[in-house]
Amino acid sequence: MNDHHRSRREELARRLLALDAKLPASSIGRLGRTAVAGLRGARLALRGKGAGEKPLDLESLAALATSVGQLKGIAMKVGQLMSYLELPLPPELKATLAVLQTHSPPMPFERVVEIVTAELGKQAPPLLGQMSPSPVAAASIGQVHRAKLPAGEDVAVKIQYPGMEAAIASDFRSAALGTSFAKLLAPGANVDAVVGEARRALTEECDYEREARYQERFARIYADHAVLVVPRVHPPYCSRRVLTTTWIEGLRFDDFLATNPPQSERDRFGEALFEFYVGTHFCHGLYNWDPHPGNYVVQRDGRITMLDYGSTREFDRAFVRKLAALTRAAHTDTPDALHQALVDLGFVKEGQTYNFETARKLVRSFYGPMLRDETLAIESGDARPFGTVLDSKRELLKLHLPSEFIFIVRIRFGVMSVLAQLGARANWYRLERRFAESEFLLA
């Protein structure tokens, strides 16, 4: 990100945090505002592509960010995805959408006080007494305030916006919005299956008690890790709509990249991120499917703090074994093993006639450059979903993408996009091969 984009990002963030959140919950209200936001985004995308066009003006970008930010929910999730996936969008538009990773119009502090008091009861006064009234971040489901516990420990308190579950339910009643989100998650997949899985996942994300439990599990897994840090959860100050965790100081991902870190640092962080998102799945059956750069804080001691565990899925050992078998078959490019892995995962039925070469290309595009047994960087363009490898949509429709696979597809390309931005180099093939042969799969 250059200085021009950075200054605009800071100005847009300032403007968003200066507004009051007015979350529309009715289907008609949200549909209308979504249509306006979509039109604004489409116009800016077209203007940015035009030959000889002037740079996109700040007021138009601010109007788009405000439209999407006030909707929150799915609209913000889509904006966040578009900000870091490798999509053909103007850089200024992507930089604007990146602001939505951590900022949107917040609810007033008076409303925060009401929610925390209702949720935490007698634990609320000591927390609110040491809480900053201005949020440090406001995202798709809730906003974060800095506070102190009675013992003096600095904490981050995430408070969910009122009416959030109703707003998400309303969004999914809109076929257009649900379908757009589905296509971003898994292009070419069965849209109905994706929408159903996405509805379930985003509804689960509204349960902060569930998020706290998963964050504690990740904290145990990475308690002694040299690079990865998971903030501690403080259960007495948590509820379904309030989550309190230890505050961690550091640089956001874009600010870290702006320091022009050495290659060794990029490589170390890249391997750690790959382990967090891919390794945790193979080694523990857990999957955090929201890798957007707003969820990282780079500490002064050279470690990365991983934030936000609402977007966590858990898979049983049997499914992870099947995915590991697919990975090994892709690595060795063995036709019989690949066919059996596709059958076991439910992509095709036993005895079904299908174009094996199309399926093979689909699988290999999923793994991309990570099938090469060499140290390499993920290049811009490597992380585009499935690229143009699919020669026949008719053949693709004969394949069934299992519902469990939907977020794995999106996280895969999300992680690759982040690694491409980071410029990290590693032998991703060997790292994944080691994960795909973990003790978790042998138990």
Cα-Cα end-to-end distance for the chain = 45
More confident site: 174 or 52: 174
Residue type, 242: V
Determine the pLDDT at residue 389: 42
pLDDT at 337: 96
Q: Which residue has the higher pLDDT, 291 or 418?
A: 418
Mean pLDDT of 21-35: 48
- Name the CA radius of gyration of the chain, rounded: 22
Q: What's residue 304's pLDDT?
A: 97
> Looking at residue 372, what is its pLDDT?
94
Q: What is the pLDDT of residue 247?
A: 97
d(CA 326, CA 324): 5
Q: Report residue 318 CA to chain centroid gap.
A: 25
- Lowest-pLDDT range of 65-74, 206-215, 282-291: 65-74
3-state SS track over the chain: CCHHHHHHHHHHHHHHHCCCCCCCCCHHHHHHHHHHHHHHHHHHHHHHHCCCCCCCCHHHHHHHHHHHHHHCHHHHHHHHHHHHCCCCCCHHHHHHHHHCCCCCCCCCHHHHHHHHHHHHHHHHHHHHHCECCCCCEECCCEEEEEEECCCCCEEEEEEECCCHHHHHHHHHCCHHHHHHHHHHHCCCCCHHHHHHHHHHHHHHCCCHHHHHHHHHHHHHHCCCCCCEECCCECHHHCCCCEEEEECCCCEEHHHHHHCCCCHHHHHHHHHHHHHHHHHHHHHHCEEECCCCHHHEEECCCCCEEECCCCCEEECCHHHHHHHHHHHHHHHHCCHHHHHHHHHHHCCCCCCCCCCHHHHHHHHHHHHHHHHCCCCEECCCCCCCCCCCCCCCHHHHCCCCCCHHHHHHHHHHHHHHHHHHHHCCEECHHHHHHHHCCCHHHHC
- Tell me the whole-structure pTM to 2 decimals: 0.79
Strand partners, 313: 287
**Number of CB atoms found within 10 A of residue 139's CB:** 25
Q: Burial, 108: exposed, middle or buried (Cβ in 10 Å; 0-12, 13-18, 19+)?
A: exposed
What's the rounded Cα separation, in Å, for the pair 101 and 121? 31
Confidence (pLDDT) at 424: 96
Name the phi and psi angles at 131, rounded to 5: -110, 135
Percent of the chain with pLDDT over 90: 42
- pLDDT tens-digit readout, 164-200: 887 777 766 654 555 554 454 444 455 555 566 677 7
Residue 57 pLDDT greater than 60, yes or no: no
Instruction: Please give the Cα distance from 194 to 408 (Å, whole number).
Output: 12
Distance of alpha carbon 349 from alpha carbon 330, whole angstroms = 19
Residue 290 pLDDT level (bands cut at 50, 70, 90)? confident
State the average pLDDT over residues 417-424.
92
Give me the mean pLDDT over the 102-125 stretch.
89
Question: If pLDDT is split at 50, 70 and 90, which confidence band does 42 have?
Answer: very low
Statement: residue 386 has pLDDT above 50: no
Question: Minimal CA–CA distance to 248: which of 293, 301, 212, 288?
Answer: 301
Q: What is the mean pLDDT of residues 116-134?
A: 96
Q: Which residues contact 3 (CB under 8 A, 6 or more apart)?
A: none
Amino acid type, 20: D
Which tops the pLDDT comparison, 84 or 379? 379
Burial 52-84 (b: 16+ CB within 10 A, else e): eeeebeeebbbebbbbbbbbbbbbbbbbbbbbb
User: Residue 420's CB: how many other CB atoms inside 10 A?
Assistant: 20
Angle (CA) 309 311 316, round 5°: 100
pLDDT score at 41: 45
To 5 degrees, how large is the angle CA 213–CA 111–CA 17?
A: 90
Task: Give the per-residue pLDDT at 409.
Answer: 72
Residue 211 banded pLDDT, cuts 50, 70, 90: very high
In contact, 63 and 19? CB cutoff 8 Å: no
Residue 221 CA from chain centroid, whole number: 20
Q: Please tell me which residue, 109 or 16, carries the higher pLDDT value.
A: 109
- 255/421 Cα distance (integer angstroms): 12
Beta bridge partners of 147: 131, 155
pLDDT at 426: 97
Amino acid 56 reads: L
Averaged pLDDT for residues 264-292: 93
Predicted pLDDT of residue 254: 86
**pLDDT at res. 51:** 44
Mean pLDDT over 107-111 rounds to 90
Residue 395 pLDDT exceeds 60: no
For the chain, domain boundaries? 3-99, 249-443
Q: Between 265 and 350, name the one with better pLDDT.
A: 265
The pLDDT, as a whole number, for residue 229 is: 98
The average confidence (pLDDT) of the chain is 78
